[in-house]
Chain A
Amino acid sequence: MTIVDPAKSNMSVTAVQIGKQRGGPPLTQVLRKDRWWLQPALIVFGLSLFGIYATWAAFRNGHYYAGPGLAGGGRDYLSPFYSPCLADVCNSQGQYTGWGPIFGTWWAISPALLILIFPLGFRMTCYYYRKSYYRSFWLSPPACAVPDAGSATPNGKRKRYTGETRFPLLIQNIHRYFWYAAVAFAGILTWDAYASFRFVGGYGMGLGSLIFVVNAALIWSYTLGCHSCRHLCGGGINKLSAHASRLWLWKNIASKLNARHQLFAWLSLIWIAFADFYVYLVSSGMIHDPRFF
């Protein structure tokens, strides 16, 4: 009687042969019939558009504050791209508690370039944005069950794919530090929303105030729906029941907002650009900000 080498049999413990020819329809053949390319295309379009706008807005270095002076029409609107106010302009003109004196008039580069590092870093390392740019810009993969184009070299050979295990993508792991900064920024933008109700001669409300309130609300919704936030609230704890308040935060705030994180990522992105543009229009005198009371 011969005992066949058990390693040859099809047991669940069979050593898996890696690199074996798979057979079946070739992987490069896209069998999907739906418009799988639409979503990545839209994302490329949307993010590029925002990128172009943000570059313009950041280098504009002007018309970002609709202050109490004539040009501002007696408002206290500061563009979110330029908040907190690092330049003298807000300080000298309004009630805004900016850091003007520190960054005095000697500072010539657009303050937005400094400020935007933080929100940009936050969004670049955001789990949602990572997904969308890996998919649409790096095509890794462009859509599900569509071959990963990001890693093919020109000669058709596959490059080794290392995901987020190596520098620079290893940096993604410090997302939570950007989140800490983002909370501060959300606070600042909340202050700005408050300031937008201050008019020369007392409190009031203009269309801009409304835009600022929505802006702050969207930023908070995005920031509190962050996966790192969810983790800090309670995601990292196994016996949540023993931590009533963190359970509540985790369950009712972070997890609920997290489920809509993609939505708020886009809304807050669009809105913040819109708010900036609105301030630009008002402060450059192109439109007049309607005042409700």
Chain B
Amino acid sequence: MAEYETHIVDVLIIGAGGAGLRAAAEASAMGASTAVVCKSLLGKAHTVMAEGGVAAALGNVWPEDNWKVHFRDTMRGGKMLNNWRMAQLHAQESPDRVLELEQWGALFDRTPDGRILQRDFGGHRYARLAHVGDRTGLELLRTVQHRAVDVGIEVFMECKIVRLLRDSEGHVNGAVGIWRETGKFIVFGAKSVVLATGGVGKMYKFTSNSWEGTGDGHALALWAGADLIDMECIQFHPTGMIWPPSARGLLVTEGVRGDGGILKNRDNERFMFNYISDYFKAETSDTIEEADQWYENKRDFRRPPELLPRDEVARAINSEVKAGRGSPHGGVFLDIASRRTAEDIKRRLPSMYHQFKELADVDITKDAMEIGPTCHYIMGGVRVDADTAAATVPGLFAAGEVAGGMHGANRLGGNSLSDLLVFGRRAGIGAAEHALSKEGTVTIDQEQVESIAKHALSFFDNEGKENAYAAHQALQNTMQELVGIIRTESELVRARGELHDLNERAKVVSVEGHRQFNPGWHLALDLEAMMAISQCTTLGALERQESRGGHTREDFPTPNNEVFGKVNMVTSMQGSEVQIRREPLPVMPPELQELFEEAH
């Protein structure tokens, strides 16, 4: 039997984005020995891509803001599919989490009286997003990274986790990974494992996600027997770059609209006024005059329709393009050049200016940007307990994008960074408490390790000649076309069939070369995860016969509050098959219910 490099810790954290590092800082502060593993180098996680800000009801710009308003906005944005308790904790705790970052060295933009400046974002009643220009994610990640380094957490970089380990009772007690550099295996024994692996965007062709977004954590949880919920709820960010082809999908921050940018179609019409749903009528401007005054006077005017929640805007853009009023490359125009001075734009949106200049040769202070929806975020994820972030399998925890429930059917901009902090910390506490209360030492089942290693290496022996890159592309095409922003039964059924075939293909992918830093092999392993997750998403999309938030069915264009508004779609592994079932949503206590009645 081979001997593997082995590390025993109390808490193992998979993923070194905002949630993972925040969890690590907390677990370590509680006295648990903590290790973090990540697929990339430390500090490269997808969190850096978040631009706009972190939502927290600090009330620095609008004193009338408070957690209840934030909570209400979050629930309404999520089309009431959220786990109410998570939304509540999130709204209550995010101000503290943001202030704590300052103690660790973060430097947010300031108000004239020296406090943290907050900006407007879609779906938020008040200007609520603490930000640093348009690179808030980077600021947040650096801050927690420096913190983690400062408290001395061990980080295992460029290491991909293949499977979780479980003990005889089925509790999660470790993981097996591969050093990307050497291709050698590494085994972790841990009393608690925290998943903080982020999203699944890479199963789509056009996505704002980095290569790491391959749903590893979702799949690890699924394979370890945990439940996933609402995997069909995927957010397509309304504004992604669409030209040039190589930049397609790259995010254009919502901050552009928050700072005055407007959407126009080919006929130069500000079309968002035609897409204000009844749900948001009361708080949205219906004339251009009113909308334009809002930027200056937010008290007396209603917000412009460009700042409706993301799902609404994405659908509107999609309809415009379908109706033939799109831009030359199949999107619409986002125009800030005609609305703000060049100097203002460069100061407030420096990285957008840079991004368009460098990649598309477009000067956004002079020309409009061409944009279209791009796969951005998955609201669904590992089913967790709101207070402890514990998954449905003991010893397993999840925080950040990989966890489900917090955002319901649609996430508001800025709520993901605060989600990372609030639930990263809670997962850190939950995992540390679980680990510290568990007696004895971790014993690793060598047979499990062996079979995982054997499986991972099997790709080198496959004679199938199936190329991992080609199989990945096929998956992306299927998902983009059949399980994309607008879905319908016939296409979903087709997708289910195609995915079944693809799954067989993915199993026989063969890898060339040797184990050292071999991207073909890494992709083959990532592909397994994406295959599993795309099945969950497709099943969920088929089963949820309504349109809600990030899930839009052409054949069921409206929400069905009686049936589907009350349930989570739960996917889990039964044998080797992914199964789906409905489970009732946790019910909100009456005092919180009231918040929704007094509104309007």
Contact = CB atoms under 8 A, between A and B. Distances in A.
Contacts of B182: 10
Nearest to A13: B154
Interface stretch (A1-9, A19-27, A29-37): A1-9
B8 A10 contact: no
A11 B157 contact: yes
A3 B5 CA distance: 6
A105 B4 CA distance: 90
A274 B410 CA distance: 70
Considering the complex of A and B, which 10 residue pairs feature the smallest CB-CB distances, nearest first? A4-B5, A12-B155, A2-B3, A12-B42, A11-B154, A3-B6, A11-B156, A12-B157, A10-B181, A9-B5
B154 A10 contact: no
Nearest to A8: B5
B109 to A, nearest CB: 15
Contacts of B155: 11-13
B292 interface: no
B179 interface: yes
Contacts of B42: 12
A47 to B, nearest CB: 35
A10 B157 contact: yes
A8 B8 CA distance: 16
Contacts of A12: 42, 149, 154-155, 157
Interface string B192-222: 0000000000000000000000000000000
Contacts of A9: 5, 7, 156, 179, 186
Interface string B159-196: 10000000000000000000101100010000000000
B570 to A, nearest CB: 37
Contact of A6 (B7, B158, B179, B444): B7
A9 B179 CA distance: 9
B501 to A, nearest CB: 38
B6 A1 contact: yes
A6 B33 CA distance: 14
Interface string A72-93: 0000000000000000000000
19 contacts: A1-B6, A1-B444, A2-B3, A3-B6, A3-B8, A4-B3, A4-B5, A6-B154, A9-B156, A9-B179, A10-B157, A10-B179, A10-B181, A10-B182, A11-B154, A11-B156, A11-B157, A12-B149, A12-B157
A12 B21 CA distance: 14
Interface string B27-44: 000000000000000100
Interface residues of A, number: 11
A8 B156 CA distance: 12
Interface in B108-149: 149
Find the residue from A1, A2, A12, A13 having the highest chain B CB count within 10 A.
A12
B346 to A, nearest CB: 16
B157 A3 contact: no
B185 to A, nearest CB: 11
Contacts of A10: 156-159, 179, 181-182
Contacts of B154: 6, 11-13
Nearest to A241: B114
Interface string A154-175: 0000000000000000000000
Given A9-B179, A11-B155, A12-B155, 13 more contacts: A1-B444, A3-B7, A6-B7, A8-B5, A9-B5, A9-B7, A9-B186, A10-B156, A10-B157, A10-B179, A12-B42, A12-B157, A13-B155
Interface string B413-429: 00000000000000000
Contacts of B181: 10
Which one of A2, A6, A9 has the highest number of Cβ atoms from chain B below 10 Å of its Cβ? A9
Given A10-B179, A12-B42, A2 B157 contact: no
A4 B158 CA distance: 18
Contact of A4 (B6, B149, B157): B6
A109 B38 CA distance: 72
Nearest to B43: A12
Nearest to A5: B5
Contacts of B3: 2, 4
Interface string B1-33: 001111110000000000000000000000000
Contacts of B159: 10
Contacts of A8: 5
A198 B158 CA distance: 75
A134 B387 CA distance: 60
A75 to B, nearest CB: 46
Nearest to A14: B157
A11 B38 CA distance: 11
A2 B2 CA distance: 11
A65 to B, nearest CB: 49
A1 B149 CA distance: 29
A4 B7 CA distance: 8
A1 B157 CA distance: 24
Nearest to B444: A1
Contacts of A11: 154-157
A8 B4 CA distance: 13
A6 B156 CA distance: 11
Nearest to B114: A241
A203 to B, nearest CB: 43
Contacts of B6: 1-4
A126 B27 CA distance: 51
Contacts of B157: 10-12
Contacts of B179: 9-10
Contacts of B5: 4, 8-9
Contacts of A3: 6-8
Nearest to B41: A12
Nearest to B148: A12
Contacts of B8: 3
Nearest to B186: A9
A13 to B, nearest CB: 7
Nearest to A12: B155
A108 B289 CA distance: 82
A247 B551 CA distance: 53
A1 B179 CA distance: 20
A269 to B, nearest CB: 33
A10 B3 CA distance: 17
A54 B348 CA distance: 49
A2 B5 CA distance: 8
A54 to B, nearest CB: 42
A5 to B, nearest CB: 9
A239 to B, nearest CB: 11
A10 B179 CA distance: 8
A11 B154 CA distance: 7
Contacts of A6: 7, 154
A3 B186 CA distance: 11
A124 to B, nearest CB: 37
Interface string A205-224: 00000000000000000000
A178 B42 CA distance: 45
A234 to B, nearest CB: 18
A8 to B, nearest CB: 8
Contacts of A4: 3-6
Residue of B5, B8, B179, B444 with most chain A CB atoms under a 10 A cut-off: B5
A4 B182 CA distance: 15
A13 B182 CA distance: 17
A88 to B, nearest CB: 57
Contacts of A1: 6, 444
A4 B185 CA distance: 12
Nearest to A2: B3
A16 B504 CA distance: 44
Contacts of A13: 154-155
Nearest to B446: A1
A95 to B, nearest CB: 49
Contacts of B4: 4
A121 B377 CA distance: 60
A245 to B, nearest CB: 20
A1 B156 CA distance: 21
